Structure 1
Amino acid sequence: MRKVVFFLVPRLHLLDLAGPAQVFSTAADLGYGYQLYYVAETEEVSTAQGVPVKASLAWPELGRDDLIVVPGWRSPRLSPWPPISARSKQVLRTHHASGGSVASVCSGADALGAAGLLDGRRYTTHHDLTEELAARYPKANIVRDVLYVMDERVITSAGIASGIDLALHLVAVEHGAVAAARIAREMVVYARRNGDELQESAMLRHRGHLSDLAHRVQDVIDSRYADRLPLADLARAAGVSERTLTRVFTAATGLTPLRYQQLLRLERAEHLIAHGTTVESASRVVGFEDPRMLRRLRSRTPAATA
């Protein structure tokens, strides 16, 4: 059971907290093994939207698989110092030094910076705060105009709704993009992946539509992309003709079912190759009978390298 601890500071933004909390809570409801905690330096925490929230004063015991998330607080401009104590900074440092992960939403990056966790790393924050944080933490490298950045188990996001994107990405890293797509669909959100790593996951990039038929067929392809999936079989599973399936699927996703499956195979193969797998082995794993097909697909993709 992976623990996700939200560290709450005064005047926090509700959506900075609720967005990622909903992702991990939905993941837990679907059986993906998350346990959520809420910790603060006071038992009641004020929010920027006026709704007080309750939190524990005690930190749970944390391991290297666990995550601390610092939601942002109201900050048209940053306060001279982030509203966290020296003890809380030490908790953040110790958890990261022990192999754990820390994350922030919006101005929560200021807390990570105060704990020394941004130095020498890439990070991002809300666009209104980039110049101030860049000046405050000159040893860090701020990345503008992205939703989230991951650097050595320090994960930062741009702000407000981008906390949802960050959390979906972390679920995808841990449990696969199928799990993230499933959670996004449960939450009825457009599952963007415009972050620092795996920026354009095909599973999520082509889920921003409202066709239930296309979603059902994508569920089949997502879970069996390495198998042979004849159009006739997909149409039979969906209860429509091949012609209707092709028309509806293409209108919803911009791709034919075969092209969508090829993109999933290509993405998985690229991941394997980037981690040392040969083209031939990656080809077999993702379902290509002939590695020449994978090479052809890679040659047509600008980001792919031989």
Structure 2
Amino acid sequence: MTHVVLVLTPGVHLLDLAGPAQVFSTAAGLGRPYRLSYVGERERIDSAQGLPVQAQTEWPGDLGPDDLLVVPGWRCPRGMLPPPFSQQTLARLAAHHAAGGTVAGVCSGAQALGEAGLLDGRRCTTHHELQDELARRFPRAKVVRDVLFTADDRVITSAGIASGIDLSLHLLAVRHGPAQAAQVARSMVVYTRRNGDEPQASAVLRYRSHLDDTVHRVQDLIDARFTEPLTLDHLAAAAGVSARTLTRVFTRATGGLTPLRYQQTLRLERAEHLIAHGTTTETAAHQVGFTDPRMLRRLRSRTPG
């Protein structure tokens, strides 16, 4: 069971909080082992939008490396002010990361991570109105602009508001594969669109920075069923275009990948994850949809690293 703890402060933005909460609660409803807790330094948390939120003041006592701490953003009417967290709360964030856990900040939540010492030397981002101040306040941080989120050594930050959903879907894709993230996204009636500018991001992220709705629909289908045989004609019919048109727009949107190559990339990435966790090449090949393990070996031999 993975524990997701949302760390709340007065003035919290509701969507910064609700986006990640909805993603992980939806995943739990689909059978994934997630439970959510909401902690704060007071029981009543008045949100920026006026709706009060109930929090628990006692932290869960059984947090481990697989668990996740998320700091939603709060209203910053005059730019970034010192985060309204005590040193004890900031120390908890730092200690969880030091113990191997993942810590995430949505919008101005990145500042809490900075005050906890987690942004030094790492890529990070925040809402575009706060990026200059984040860079000024934490000069050792590598502030990345014009991206939805960043991930660097189990420190995850997002641009704010709705991008907390993208951050959370990314974490699902990393932990459970793109099909799970796509299933949750479809349940929430959102695309599994992610930032495509991160050099270490997964294939689902690298090829999702375009704005072509037809290609996004096809990618949603491939993400959900990448282990199955998917013909070009089937994908084109699902998108309501010809096979020739799909190949043309898909290649243009993804920077050169055909739908088949995109599917192979997802299979290869998932297979590498399985192999890294002790699965044999033959078993991994079959689990990701290759009928012949030699195909997986050929793809691995062509991929640097």
Q: TM-score, normalised by structure 1?
A: 0.78
Q: Could you tell me whether the CA contact under 8 Å between 1:191 and 1:207 is conserved in 2?
A: no
Partner of 1:113: 114
Q: More deviation in 263-272 or 139-148? A: 263-272
- Residue 122 (structure 1) shift: 1.1
Q: How does 1:1-306 map onto structure 2 within 5 Å?
A: 1-61=1-61, 62-194=63-195, 196=198, 197-198=201-202, 200-201=204-205, 219=221, 222=223, 225-226=226-227, 228-229=229-230, 247-248=240-241, 254=249, 259-269=258-268, 287=290
Instruction: Return the letter of the residue paired with 1:88.
Output: T
Once residues 245 and 192 of structure 1 are traced to their aligned partners in structure 2, the CA distance between those partners, rounded to angstroms, is 19
- Residue 183 (structure 1) shift: 0.4
Once residues 73 and 142 of structure 2 are traced to their aligned partners in structure 1, the CA distance between those partners, rounded to angstroms, is 19
Q: CA RMSD in A?
A: 3.7
| Closer, same or farther: CA 205–272 of 1 in aligned 2, 3 Å | farther
Instruction: Return the letter of the residue paired with 2:102.
Output: S
Question: Identity, % of aligned pairs?
Answer: 50
- Residue 249 (structure 1) shift: 7.6
- Residue 269 (structure 1) shift: 2.4
Instruction: Return the letter of the residue paired with 1:29.
Output: G
- Residue 261 (structure 1) shift: 3.8
- Residue 33 (structure 1) shift: 1.0
Poorly superposed stretches of 4+, deviation over 3 Å: 76-80, 199-211, 221-232, 243-256, 270-277, 280-286, 288-295
| Closer, same or farther: CA 82–68 of 1 in aligned 2, 3 Å | same
Instruction: Return the letter of the residue paired with 1:84.
Output: F
Unaligned runs of 5+ residues in structure 1 are 236-242, 299-303
Q: Could you tell me whether the CA contact under 8 Å between 1:23 and 1:168 is conserved in 2?
A: yes
| Closer, same or farther: CA 208–3 of 1 in aligned 2, 3 Å | farther
Q: Could you tell me whether the CA contact under 8 Å between 1:225 and 1:261 is conserved in 2?
A: no
The alignment covers a number of residue pairs equal to: 284
Q: TM-score, normalised by structure 2?
A: 0.78
Once residues 80 and 205 of structure 1 are traced to their aligned partners in structure 2, the CA distance between those partners, rounded to angstroms, is 32
- Residue 288 (structure 1) shift: 7.9
Once residues 40 and 225 of structure 1 are traced to their aligned partners in structure 2, the CA distance between those partners, rounded to angstroms, is 41
Instruction: For residue 129 of structure 2, give the secondary structure of its aligned residue in structure 1.
Output: helix
- Residue 175 (structure 1) shift: 0.6
Instruction: For residue 133 of structure 2, give the secondary structure of its aligned residue in structure 1.
Output: helix
Instruction: For residue 128 of structure 1, give the secondary structure of its aligned residue in structure 2.
Output: coil
- Residue 198 (structure 1) shift: 2.3
- Residue 75 (structure 1) shift: 1.1
Instruction: Return the letter of the residue paired with 1:262.
Output: R
Q: Could you tell me whether the CA contact under 8 Å between 2:195 and 2:209 is conserved in 1?
A: no
| Closer, same or farther: CA 225–114 of 1 in aligned 2, 3 Å | closer
Bigger Rg, structure 1 or 2: 1
Unaligned runs of 5+ residues in structure 2 are 252-256
Instruction: Return the letter of the residue paired with 2:157.
Output: T
Instruction: Return the letter of the residue paired with 1:39.
Output: V
- Residue 119 (structure 1) shift: 1.1
